[in-house]
Structure 1
Amino acid sequence: MTNEPDDLAGLRDEIDRVGRTAAKRFDPGAGAMLIAVAVLAILVSLILPWVGEDVGLRVLLGEAPAMPKVFSYAVLVAGVLLPAVTLVVRRWALAWVSALGSFAASVSGVLSIWMTQTTTGHQPGPGPGVGLVVAVVAIIVLLVKWLKIAASRPALQ
C-alpha cells in the first residue's frame, strides 16, 4: 500500500518547482519577429554609410576616422548579441538587461547623429549617413520592444 499523502506532497513540490521555473521565463510571441527584423536592420546598417563614405563595419573595426565608434560597439552588443542570447534563454532578467543596453545604445546613437552634424569650426559636419540613421531607429525599436516585454512580467504570487 502506498502512502497517498506523501505522494501528493511530492507531486505538489514538483508542480511548485515547475511553476517557479516557468515564472522566470517569458514568451515574446510575435514580438520575436519584430526583434529579429530590428537585429537584421542593424546588421544591414553596418554595410551602409555611417559618416561620409565610411560604412558602419569600417567604423566598428576602427579603420575609419569616424566619430560614432562608441555607438558601433554599443549597437553590436545591445542590438545583436544581447537580443540573440535573450531570445534563446528567455529569462526576465536578461530582458531587463537588453532593455537597459538598448537604452544606453539609443542615447549613444542619438549623440552620434548630433556629433556628425557639428564641428568646432563654422562649417557643418559631414552629417549622418543612412546606415547610422537605420541603426539608431532599429535600436530604438529594440528599446521599446524590450521594455514592453520586461514590463509585462506578471506579479509573483
Structure 2
Amino acid sequence: MTEQDGESSAEMKELAAEIDQVGARAARTVELGRRGFTISLFVFVLLIGQILPWVGGVVGWEVLVGHGGGVPQLFAATSTAFGVFASALTLATRRWWLSWVCAAGGWFASVDGLLAIWSQQSSHASGATGGGPGIGMIVAWIATICLAVQWMRTAFSRS
C-alpha cells in the first residue's frame, strides 16, 4: 500500500462521513415547497379571523384572553397555539416532527372549533354568551381545518 492509497482512503472515509451527516440532517427536515406558502396563507387567514367577531360583539383575540365563554376560549387558545405559533415555528425550522405536532394539534383545534360553534348555536338554552357563532369563529375554524389538512399531508409526505 502506497502513501497515496492511504491518503485516498482517508479522504474517502472523510467524504463518507460528510455524506452521512448530510443525510442525517435531511432526514430530520421536511421540504415544504409550495405547500409552505399555502400554509402561510392559512395562518394569515386564521389571524384575520382573530380580529373578527366570535361571540356576540367580542372579537377572537378578546375571546383568547377570557371574554366570551370557556369553549370558544379553548378553541381560540388551541387554534392560536397550533395554527399560528407551532406553524410559524415549523415553517421556520422545517423539522419533520413539528409537522406532526401541527397536524395532530390542528385536528384537535378543529374539533374544539366545532364544539365552540355548537356551543354558540345552543347557547339560548343555557343562557350562555352568544346568539350564534360570529364570522370570525367560522373563518378561524375553516382556516384551522385547512391547516390541519396541509400539515397532515406534509407529515405523511416523508418517505
In angstroms, what is the RMSD of aligned CA positions? 1.8
Give TM-score, length-normalised by structure 1.
0.91
CA contact (8 A) 2:96 2:155 kept: yes
Pair 1:88-2:96 in alignment? no
Structure 1: which 4+ aligned runs deviate by more than 6 Å?
Answer: none
Query: Equivalent of 1:59, from 58, 63, 85?
Result: 63
Determine if contact 1:113/1:133 at 8 Å carries over to the other structure.
yes
The amino acid that maps onto 1:70 is L
Aligned equivalent of 2:118, options 97, 114, 118: 114
**1:28 maps to 2:35:** no
Task: Output the CA distance in 1 between the equivalents of 2:61 and 2:123.
Answer: 23
Q: Greater helix percent: which structure? A: 2
Counterpart position of 1:129: 134
Q: Which consecutive residues of structure 2, in runs of 5 or more, have no partner in the other structure?
A: none
Please give the alpha-carbon distance, in whole angstroms, between the structure 2 residues aligned to 1:122 and 1:132. 20
- Equivalent position of 1:12 in the other structure: 16
Q: Name the CA distance, whole Å, in 2 between partners of 1:119 and 1:8.
A: 70
Closer, same or farther: CA 150–137 of 1 in aligned 2, 3 Å: same
Q: Are 2:123 and 2:131, in contact at CA under 8 Å, matched by a contact in 1?
A: no
Correspondence for 2:104: 100
- Once the two structures are overlaid, the 10-residue window that deviates more, 1-10 or 31-40, is 1-10
Give the superposition deviation at 1:82.
0.3
Per-residue Cα deviation, 1:35-78 (whole angstroms, up to 9, x for no partner): 1111111111111110111111111111x233401011101101
Q: What is the rounded CA distance, in whole Å, between the counterparts of 1:121 and 1:134 in structure 2?
A: 25
Query: What does 1:34-49 align with in structure 2 at a 5 Å threshold?
Result: 34-49=38-53
Secondary structure class of the residue paired with 1:135: helix
Query: Alignment partner of 1:65: what SS?
Result: coil
How far apart, CA to CA, are the structure 1 residues paired with 2:138 and 2:146? 12
Note if contact 1:42-1:134 (Cα within 8 Å) is conserved in structure 2.
Answer: yes
Aligned 8 A contact 1:75 1:105 in 2:
yes
TM-score by length of 2: 0.90
